Amino acid sequence: MARRILYAVGARPNFVKAAPLLEASRAHPEVDTLLVHTGQHYDDALSGALFRDLELRAPDVNLGVGSGSHAAQTAAVMCAFEPVVLGWRPDVVVVVGDVNSTLACALAAAKLGVAVAHVEAGLRSWDRSMPEEINRVLVDHLADLLFTPGRDADDNLLREGIAVERIHRVGNVMVDSLRRQLPRARGRCLLPGPPLPDGAYAVATVHRPSNVDDPAQLAEIFAALAALAEEMPVVFPVHPRTRGCAERSGLLPALGAARVVEPLGYHAMLALMERARLVVTDSGGVQEETTVLGVPCVTLRDTTERPVTVREGTSVLVPVRTRDNILRAAAEAVAPGRGTRVPELWDGRAAERILEVLARF
């Protein structure tokens, strides 16, 4: 009997994780798949271009929910997703990551009695002020199958009383995309304009509300990037949310000589990071990517749901994000002799392991 697997995605990090799952599904002729895009990220820079870079097939269904408050967006996805589940009747709904679409699709499926599988389960920052943390906890307790990236995630779930037979340690599916796409990314032209010196520039990405919504906090981050730009070229692909906050606060000139560019596609960003001396970010996915690439990373966060990137990888956490603290963390990150390694099971085969479980579920 065919297994019907519905993959639900909504935002840029989801797409990176879904691509290898859909590819791995092709090795299982007994599996039928439906790809549903909620439309949480809907502009071309955050959605369409990434689908093309990842060779991800066009969605079978696009719910087109767009933006909104957390409550409005979650509710809109649930209302639009429920008829799709009722109409297609999947055996399992697979959700990835921790965005609002992840929670909405998991909740709608669970209320309809459809099994839920959560890819990237068990991550915890222990910071309930992060909307993503709320999403992670709720989805994990709704899910019938929990696919974890590592031992820490397993332990988190067991402490919360989740039955061991529901937990499957498979590795990091984001790494599957990175390892598959990196050779193609290396052939991409990085940026228009003056060439960047290999291994002697920095890349910055900042988008989290805790960093960009408060003008005083954003000013400290921009001051640090301006100071870094006096030592080496700094490339700053600006997220639409960050640009809007910076323009309203009049902070863009505070970036000094930092090179401000539009958001980059997946390939361009991978190529840019691989050849960088340093990455400054508040993105969870970028923490993982820099760990695999072996590039020093300054993480502008109070806490991280990916502690392995600090303990074993290349990330240095900056809980108090003043200009001077960020610069000190940058110096620590690039210091010679820091021992780092790629964590266990981050080998590019996580999607294969997930499909082996799904195909027999």
CA 254 to chain centre: 28
Looking at the predicted structure, is the pLDDT value of residue 45 above 90?
Answer: no
Residues 217 and 317 in one domain: yes
Query: Residue length, the chain?
Result: 361
Assigned domain for 178 exists: no
Catalytic residue among 28, 141, 168, 207: 207
**CA-to-CA distance for 80 and 25, rounded, in angstroms?**
25
Residue numbers of the domain that contains 91: 3-172+346-360
Residues 282 and 233 in one domain: yes
Residues 67 and 21 in one domain: yes
Per-residue confidence at 357, pLDDT binned at 50, 70, 90? very high
Could you tell me the two tokens for 290?
A: 């820099």
CA 215 to chain centre: 25
**Overall domain count for the chain:** 2
Dihedral sign, CA of 80, 83, 86, 88? negative
Per-residue confidence at 41, pLDDT binned at 50, 70, 90? low
207 as an active site residue: the answer is yes
Residues 324 and 352 in one domain: no
Assigned domain for 96 exists: yes
Assigned domain for 185 exists: no
Assigned domain for 179 exists: no
Residues 291 and 351 in one domain: no
> Residue 1: its pLDDT value, please?
52
* Residues β-bridged to residue 342: none
Residues 165 and 305 in one domain: no
CATH number at residue 81: 3.40.50.2000
Mean model confidence pLDDT for the chain: 94
**CA-to-CA distance for 204 and 263, rounded, in angstroms?**
11
Residues 147 and 200 in one domain: no
Residues 271 and 157 in one domain: no
Residues 350 and 293 in one domain: no
Assigned domain for 181 exists: no
**CA-to-CA distance for 106 and 37, rounded, in angstroms?**
14
Task: Write a three-state SS string for the chain.
Answer: CCEEEEEEECCHHHHHHHHHHHHHHCCCCCEEEEEEECCCCCCHHHHHHHHHHCCCCCCCEECCCCCCCHHHHHHHHHHHHHHHHHHHCCCEEEEECCCHHHHHHHHHHHHCCCEEEEECCCCCCCCCCCHHHHHHHHHHHHCCEEEECCHHHHHHHHHCCCCHHHEEECCCHHHHHHHHHHHHHCCCCCCCCCCCCCCCCEEEECCCHHHHCCHHHHHHHHHHHHHHHCCCCEEEECCHHHHHHHHHHCCHHHHCCCEEECCCCHHHHHHHHHCCCEEEECCHHHHHHHHHHCCCEEECCCCCCCCHHHHCCCEEECCCCCHHHHHHHHHHHHCCCCCCCCCCCCCCCHHHHHHHHHHHC
Assigned domain for 254 exists: yes
Residues 229 and 305 in one domain: yes
pTM value is 0.92
**CA-to-CA distance for 186 and 172, rounded, in angstroms?**
22
Using one digit for the tens of pLDDT, what is the confidence trace for 301-324?
Answer: 999 999 999 999 999 999 999 999
Half-sphere exposure of 72 (CA within 13 A, CB side): 5
**Pairing label, strands 31-37, 3-9:** parallel
Residues 62 and 23 in one domain: yes
Assigned domain for 48 exists: yes
**CA-to-CA distance for 331 and 278, rounded, in angstroms?**
10
Using one digit for the tens of pLDDT, what is the confidence trace for 52-82?
Answer: 888 888 999 999 988 889 999 999 999 999 9
Looking at the predicted structure, is the pLDDT value of residue 46 above 60?
Answer: no
**CA-to-CA distance for 197 and 228, rounded, in angstroms?**
15
Looking at the predicted structure, is the pLDDT value of residue 43 above 70?
Answer: no
Residues 130 and 241 in one domain: no
Assigned domain for 159 exists: yes
Edge to edge, the sheet with strand 92-96 lists 61-62, 31-37, 3-9, 92-96, 115-119, 145-148, 167-169
Using one digit for the tens of pLDDT, what is the confidence trace for 130-143?
Answer: 899 999 999 999 99
